[in-house]
Amino acid sequence: MSNVNSQPVLKLDGVRKTFSPGTVDEVVAIDGVNQEVKAGDFVTIIGSNGAGKSTLLNLIAGMFPPEKGGKIHINGQDVTNLKEYKHAAYTGRVWQDPSVGTAKILTIEENLSLAFSRGKRRKLIHAINRNRRSLFKEALKPLGLGLEDRLTCPVGTLSGGQRQALSLVMATISQPALLLLDEHIAALDPTTAKTVMKLTSEIVNREKITTLMVTHDMDIALEVGNRLIMMHKGKVILDLNRKAKSALTISDLISAFEKASGDKFADDKVLLKAD
C-alpha cells in the first residue's frame, strides 16, 4: 500500500468506546485516545489489566466502531466505519490464543490461501493462485521451522509455537499497512515465546511493517521496537521514544506508570513473572 512519508500510517482522533452504555455494567474501555503512528514504527503497548489495550486493537481492526465523533484513519483513508472484513486490507492480526488465528482442520496452505485472499479482489486471487505454492514456501522458509515442507498438513498437527509463527506469516502475507499483535506470545512456554518473538522482529524488520504489539513482558516492551505506550483506564498515560525507553529499567517503568496514573500498577501476569 502506498504511503506518503509525512502521513501517519495510523491516526486516532477522539477515539472512545463504552461497553453496555447506560446500564449498571457500563464500562468506559477507551476514554479519548488521540495518537499518530508513523510508517515503520514498532510500538509496544503495556498497561494494567482492563486498561483497554485489546479494545484499542479491536477498534483499529474494525471489530466495532468508536463512539460518534471519533475518527480512525489508516494511510490517510477514513476507516472509522468500515466493516471488519474490509479492514483486512489494512490490518493483519495475531491473538494470544494460537487456535484463534488459524483453522486447525484446514491444511497449512489452505490457511495461507484464506489469509492471502482476505481483502483482495477475486480477479487478483485467480492470477496469483498459479504461483501460490511457491509464494507460501518462500514466506514460510525464513521461519526455519520446516513448515514449507508440510503445506498439506492440517494445522491441528502443529505445536502452539508453530501455529503462532504461521499466524504471523498469515497476518503479514498480504502486506497490511498495520500489524496488530495482542499478547501473541503470552500463551507459549518461555523458550517458544522467545523464538516466536525473534521471528516477529525478523518479519517486521524485513517487511518494514508498522506494528502495534501489546505485551505483559516489560523486558520485551523495553527491548523491542522504537516506541512504548502505556495505557491506564482507557487512556494513553505515557509515550516513550526509543531514546527515553532505552534509559529505563523495569522498576523505572513501574514508577513512571505509578507517577503518571496516580495508581498502583496492577497486572497479575507481570506480578506472577516477578514471583
Q: How many residues does the chain have?
A: 275
| Contact range with ligand ATP by CB under 6 A, out of 47-55, 75-83, 145-153, 201-209 | 47-55
For residue 82, the partner it binds in Mg ion, ligand ATP, none, with Cβ less than 5 to 8 A by kind, is none
**Cβ proximity to ligand ATP, 75 vs 215, nearer residue:** 215
For residue 151, the partner it binds in Mg ion, ligand ATP, none, with Cβ less than 5 to 8 A by kind, is none
Q: What is the number of alpha carbons within 13 Å of residue 87 lying toward its C-beta?
A: 26
User: What DSSP character marks residue 177?
Assistant: S
- What stretches of the chain show up as alpha helix (H) in DSSP? 53-60, 84-87, 98-101, 108-117, 122-129, 132-140, 160-172, 190-207, 218-223, 242-246, 250-261, 268-274
- Of 9, 42, 53, 171, the residue at the interface with ligand ATP (CB under 6 A) is 53
Note whether 195 binds Mg ion by CB under 5 A.
Answer: no
Is the distance from CB of 131 to CB of 161 less than 8 angstroms? no
- Of 54, 75, 172, 210, the residue at the interface with Mg ion (CB under 5 A) is 54
Find the radius of gyration of the CA atoms of the chain: 19
Note whether 215 binds ligand ATP by CB under 6 A.
Answer: no
**Cβ proximity to Mg ion, 56 vs 173, nearer residue:** 56
Query: Distance from first CA to last CA of the chain, Å, rounded?
Result: 45
| Contact range with ligand ATP by CB under 6 A, out of 1-9, 53-61, 126-134, 244-252 | 53-61
- Of 9, 10, 12, 29, the residue at the interface with ligand ATP (CB under 6 A) is 29
Interface ranges with Mg ion (CB under 5 A): 53-54
